[in-house]
């Protein structure tokens, strides 16, 4: 390992932190054999529900070199999104915390572009592609491989004592960088709080999520009518679900993020249950126009609200 490669990796990680990322790790671009086997089993069981896109580009998901020819290293980053304040009305429909602020795709891509510019400054014309939950990349697998956390029983990435309220993203580059070798050991132990807390039984077993039963999937991606068997099980969730994360011991001391763009619209925090259910499309757009809720759109959120009323 040359001093130049080491210093470049160190500089990139420091730059990532300066740009506001919570942590940064590096792994070698390669075939993810274990994760490919796990993904294949999950898909064959039908647990991906209506996410047919997961069936496509399997080879690219398992090997970034198929997605980006010339890929040598995967730079993984995490960004904390845990809010300092949450919704005020305890009876109001509940919004997942990741959806509070500006659409994270925009926030993270902007930071990744700046990080790419830093890399070009120190290493010349480095080819690079950024990925933020929008391409066939196994974000959690690369974060684990880069030493940023482990895969919890709730299928979320758990970043040690800092918990799991993080976005994960990557820069895949054609530059050879030293890979991080310290992989975090899984520390869930005998704990089953996330499994037992899930009201729909979506966590079929440790480390296996059945999207067909997942409130987060149902409220953000499921098309059409919500199945009646979910009635009285949604726990007033209107978009996404944090139940399995909220009960996780590693999240009990979660620290709030420091990214202004992820701060929620104060009006959203103050919405009462009555105001949620009376909301028309114009008000929805004024409050949520720059969030991920706008991607799913008003009709889906309205459907979820009507279902929660019974």
Q: Is 133 an active-site residue?
A: yes
pTM for the full model? 0.96
Catalytic residue among 133, 228, 246, 263: 133
Q: What is the pLDDT of residue 3?
A: 61
Q: What is the pLDDT of residue 269?
A: 98
Name the stretches of the chain with pLDDT < 50.
1
CB-count exposure of residue 157 (10 Å: 0-12, 13-18, 19+): buried
For the stretch 126-162, pLDDT in tens is 999 999 987 899 999 999 999 999 999 999 999 988 9
Nearest Cα neighbor of 142 from 126, 124, 130, 154 is 130
| Alpha-carbon gap, residue 67 to 55, rounded angstroms | 15
For the stretch 65-110, pLDDT in tens is 999 999 999 999 999 999 999 999 999 999 999 999 999 999 999 9
- E strands of 127-275, at which residues? 128-131, 150-151, 157-158, 166-173, 203-205, 208-209, 237-239
Q: What is the pLDDT of residue 1?
A: 45
């Amino acid at each position: 390992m040359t001093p130049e490669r080491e210093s470049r990796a160190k500089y990139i990680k420091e730059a990532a932190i300066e740009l506001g990322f919570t942590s940064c790790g590096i792994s070698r671009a390669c075939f993810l054999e274990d994760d490919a086997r796990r993904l294949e089993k999950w898909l064959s069981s039908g647990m991906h529900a209506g996410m047919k896109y997961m069936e496509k580009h399997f080879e690219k998901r398992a090997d970034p070199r198929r997605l980006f020819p010339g890929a040598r290293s995967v730079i993984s980053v995490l960004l904390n999104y845990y809010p300092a304040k949450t919704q005020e009305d305890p009876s109001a429909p509940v919004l997942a915390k990741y959806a509070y602020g500006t659409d994270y795709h925009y926030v993270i891509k902007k930071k990744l572009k700046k990080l790419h510019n830093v890399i070009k400054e120190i290493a010349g014309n480095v080819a690079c592609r950024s990925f933020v939950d929008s391409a066939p990349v196994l974000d959690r697998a690369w974060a684990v491989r880069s030493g940023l956390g482990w895969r919890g029983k709730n299928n979320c990435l758990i970043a040690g004592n800092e918990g799991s309220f993080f976005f994960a993203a990557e820069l895949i580059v054609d530059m050879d960088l030293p890979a991080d070798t310290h992989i975090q050991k899984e520390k869930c132990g005998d704990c089953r709080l996330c499994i037992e807390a899930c009201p729909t039984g979506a966590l079929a077993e440790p480390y296996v999520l059945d999207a067909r039963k997942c409130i987060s999937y149902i409220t953000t991606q499921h098309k059409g009518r919500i199945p009646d068997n979910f009635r009285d099980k949604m726990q007033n969730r209107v978009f996404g679900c944090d139940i399995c994360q909220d009960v996780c011991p590693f999240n009990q001391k979660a620290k709030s993020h420091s990214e202004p763009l992820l701060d929620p619209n104060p009006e959203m925090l103050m919405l009462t249950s009555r105001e949620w259910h009376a909301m028309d499309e114009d008000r929805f757009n004024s409050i949520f126009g720059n969030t991920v809720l706008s991607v799913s759109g008003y009709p889906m959120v309205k459907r979820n609200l009507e279902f929660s009323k019974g």
